[in-house]
Structure 1
Amino acid sequence: MATEPTPLSLAKQLLAVLRKDRDRLERIDRYHQGQHDDPYMPPNADDEYRLLAKRSVSNWTPLLVSTPAQAMYVDGFRPGSAGTSLPAAPTSTSTEWEHWQRSRLDSRQAAIYNGALTFGHSFTLTEKVRSGQIRTKGLSALRTAALFEDPANDDTPYAALTVTRWPSGDIAGKARMWDSRREYEVTFKSRDSDDGVRVGDGRLHGATENPVTRFVAAVDLEGRTVGVIEPMIALQDRINQTVFDLLVAQTYASTKVRTVTGMAPPVKRNPETGEPELDDNGNEIPLPINHNARRFLFAEDPDTKFGSLDETPLGGFIESIDMSIRHLSALAQVPPHHLLGQIANLSAEALQAAETSLARMVSRFKTSFGESWERVFRLAAELAGNAASASDFSGEVIWRDVESRSLAQAADALGKLREQLGIPARGLWKRVPGVTQTEYEDWEQMAEEDDSVGQLASALTRATPSVSDDLPAAA
């Protein structure tokens, strides 16, 4: 019979996961920060070559992350209706949404998406702080690891650990670890071995499952996660190499080279004797020729011949860079005009067609991240003592509509849905572009107040006898 893993064994296993993934994740982080591998150079390259290699880095990876991340913004939460599978009306007064606002996730959610898209996964921690409030914060994939029974299908880890301080010299590293019931304080002396790992006594964290939630950009059936940067590193290196070759050609071969044959250059002479001065090898020392675009070259010897070498055309390098960027656009599902900046003479239909692939990718990310947020809301409800919401699997997050279209177009479309399909007007309010949860609730309150005034007026009208009823009938 298998024994339950001890907290110490879990801590060692989680630290081993961080060591195993460290090189790969740090390489992805370097590319995201613009610290790319150098392009190929000759072994004896001088400082000028190395300076051109440094300037050749064209970092496209942040755009691959920010383009889909900017299209994702949770704007509300619609809890499920009690006893039914249908969601209730969205509200910002629920315990779950109060926890969201208190955690300042309106702004901090972007960092969670950026981390998941960059490394393939990121994490959040939902906990009750000392003041008794429920808060959720993001955790970096570089510092956090989680263990799953089935990493491809499970959304609840059975153990998770995040490093709060890396070891430095004689100062031990610190980490926090959670299982399904308890939180532990972990100390360790080295990033590269299990020596010196210590686990303190655990304390109950208040939930019935692990409070760490994983956000995944893409995961396969082996449980491997991948972001948007790692598959593009080879293509990013190709772009850097082509830009480097362009800079080398531009620096050394982009102008015509003047040549002269049959003419001896002037030599350096001794000012006293007038004799030519010799170098260490016994050769005459030539004087530099002061030549620029305003000067003419001439020679007294009729056998002297002047010529020129053509410059290297740069068009091929530029076309190669554009081709590589188009390949990057196709593989990363980012519209070409986002990368090339070429949007002139494009119709609205053409722009919409170019955005289709990006919209599909963003929709996939929303589906994955939405499931993770729903687990976060259930955890927050459980920690707040709301048993009904803690077991609510029919709630859903509301994503802001960031599609580019005018308010007039949206109003026309919503009006047609109202008139032609008979959808209630209130049911379409959330589809108004840019409407926030607070505005929606203000509209609900104003509509109820207006309706109550109308009902009161109708009741008074029915209760008050008409003046014509009191008049005598005409003879």
Structure 2
Amino acid sequence: MADTSPLKLAKELLAVLERDEPRLQRIDNFIRGRHDDPYMPPQADDEYKLLAKRAVSNWMPLLISTPAQALYVDGHRPGTSGSGLPKASASTSPQWSHWQRSRMDARQAAVYRGALGFGHSFVLTEKTKKGVMSKGLSAKKTAALYEDPANDDEPYVALTVTAMPRGDAPGRARMFDARYEYAVTFKAISDLDSVRVGTRKLHGASECPITRFAASVDLEGRTVGVVEPMIPLQNRVNQTIFDLLVSQTYTSHEVRYVTGMAPPLQMELLDEAGNVTTDAALAVDSRPRLDGAGNPIPANINHNARRFLFAEDPDVKFGSLPAGPIGSLIDSVDMTIRHLAAISQTPPHHLLGQIANLSAEALLAAETSLSRKITEFQSLFGEAWERVFRIAAEMDGDTAANEDFAGEVQWRDMESRSLAQSADALGKLADQLGIPKRGLWKRVPGVTQTEYEDWEQMAEEDDSVGQLATALTRATSNADTTASFNSEAVAA
């Protein structure tokens, strides 16, 4: 990388934010339910526009929540110590202490949802008064530059906006490179001439402390989430439901009609002078009320299922128009949602709610595609968390943890299985394959890292008591044997 001034880097990063803002804002609009309007006639009235608003069926949050709710880091296993010392347990390791100090048990979900929605999110690791802590950053306010964006884990510079300009108050941002943190101000993201770089300070790490969490990265360095590819299908769903609502409103009911009868007209009362009056006592005549074009205004007819229509003129004809079918539109909605499920790798019953009469094998087959996608996300996000842990260790001065490239995060098993099924499967693994029983404890559904370590401590205590009892039993048995032998010898 060529030597570049902090001011030039700040301008370049703000230009990246300005370039990506329309795309990210469009994604954010779809996540929040602000979708493109369905097609409607140019002269659409207020009723059409109301139906268009009601046609929005926002599936995007579900496409994010389904994999995000299966992503939960539950522990960290450090790599083998190079000094030969035993590894620290997950809950006492410096990496997990940093995790708990940063309150990432609750905050990790926002990082995953941001990455799944926009394609990427970020985590900043920094020194605070409470120690080294990490926090999530939004993709809409953060940009990073990489020498090789497809393969590099660490950016050579990154910037996050902390305050947007308001009135005369300029916007503020923090920029990080491999050694320093810079204070950046600007009047507008689009006004690069107003960018100023202020004081700098050491951030305590040997590389940029901002880590990217990408849901998917191609060899061009582009990131994509689960929302952007689904926008055309979401628009198709909205259009189909809009057509369904229009058909339901205008053609799904039987329409009665009458021919050969003039409609009743709205009348206005006239007094003796021929002026319009509202006092029926003064009225001596009446005439039809006229609209702005001079045409008579028909009177409103209050007609419902309890009223009868009749006419004295034999030429008057009554009839009805049958309701139009809407079943094809309902089938079209169902088909579009199935396409959405297939392309997004979301099980159809998560979207349609149809789980009746499904066997366990059918449910497993439906969940397979989602499980593969979640496994891919765990691999990508797991590597990012490991970099966060190494940077935090370096800031804490822990050289061993900083150089631990063999450690790995542990993901909680979020699959729905009964405890009886899991116990039966784990028992067979231990008995038939000879896997150590302690090695299977972490696979018990719902077990936490603290519970696991409590089990290990109780098992060690039980082993110690058992070994002591065995030793006492052996000592007592040996003493009895020796005494018996001595007695026999004396008798002889």
TM-score band, normalised by shorter chain: over 0.9
Contact persistence 1:116–1:215 (CA under 8 A): yes
- Residue 353 of structure 2: aligned partner: 341
Q: 1:373 aligns with which of 369, 379, 385?
A: 385
Indicate the SS of the match to 2:204: coil
- Measured after TM superposition, the shift of residue 54 of structure 1 is 1.0
Residue in structure 1 matched with residue 483 of structure 2 by the alignment: 470
Deviations 1:44-81 (A, max 9, x none): 22222111111111000000000000111111000000
- Cα distance change, pair 322–417 in 1 and its aligned pair in 2 (3 A): same
* Separation of aligned partners in 1, 2:221 and 2:341: 27
Distance 1:269 1:72 in 2: 71
| TM-score, length-scaled by structure 1 | 0.96
When residues 313 and 335 of structure 1 are mapped into structure 2, their CA distance, relative to the original with a 3 A threshold, is: same
Name the structure 2 match of 1:297. 309
| Greater alpha carbon shift after TM alignment, 222-231 vs 446-455 | 446-455
The worse-fitting range, judged by mean Cα deviation, of 116-125 and 454-463 is 454-463
1:31-430 correspondence to structure 2 within 5 Å: 31-83=30-82, 90-131=89-130, 133-269=131-267, 271=269, 272-274=283-285, 276-279=287-290, 281-430=293-442
Q: Deviations over 1:227-279 (max 9, x none)?
A: 00000001101111111111112122221111111112233455545554252
SS at match of 1:195: helix
Q: Which runs of 5+ in 2 are unaligned?
A: 270-282
When the two structures are aligned, how many residues end up with a matched partner?
472
Question: How far is the alpha carbon of 1:216 from its aligned partner?
Answer: 0.5
Offset from partner CA, 1:417-472 (integer Å, 9 cap, x none): 11111111111111111111101110111111111112222222333354465354
RMSD: 1.9
The separation in 1 between residues aligned to 2:300 and 2:313, in whole angstroms, is: 19
Letter in 2 for 1:155: D
Q: SS of 2:181's equivalent?
A: strand
CA distance in 2, matches of 1:306, 1:67: 55
CA distance in 2, matches of 1:286, 1:107: 65
> Percent same amino acid among aligned pairs?
68
Which amino acid counterpart does residue 229 of structure 2 have in structure 1? P
d(CA) in 1 for partners of 2:155, 2:8: 16
Matches of 2:296 and 2:90 in 1, distance apart?
A: 91
> What SS is found at the alignment partner of 1:23?
helix
Quick check: 2:265–2:289 contact (8 Å CA) kept in 1? no
Distance 2:345 2:168 in 1: 47
**Once structures 1 and 2 are overlaid, which stretch shifts more, 245-254 or 454-463?**
454-463
Whole-angstrom CA distance in 1 between matches of 2:83 and 2:66:
37
Q: Are the counterparts in 2 of residues 152 and 223 from structure 1 also a CA contact under 8 Å?
A: yes
Whole-angstrom distance in 2 between the partners of 1:135 and 1:59: 35
Larger Rg computed on CA atoms: 2
Contact kept in structure 2, 1:76 and 1:90, CA below 8 Å:
no
Give a deviation string over 1:383-409, Cα, whole Å, max 9, x none.
111111111111111000111111111
Q: Is 450-459 or 359-368 further displaced after alignment? A: 450-459
* Greater shift in the superposed pair: 40-49 or 400-409: 40-49
SS for the counterpart of 1:223 is coil
Aligned amino acid, residue 256 of structure 2: R
SS at match of 1:240: helix
Distance in 2, Cα, partners of 1:310 & 1:171: 65
Which has the higher mean CA deviation after the structures are superposed, 76-85 or 409-418?
76-85
Normalising to structure 2: TM-score of the pair? 0.92
- Give the stretch that moved more between structures: 286-295 or 71-80: 286-295
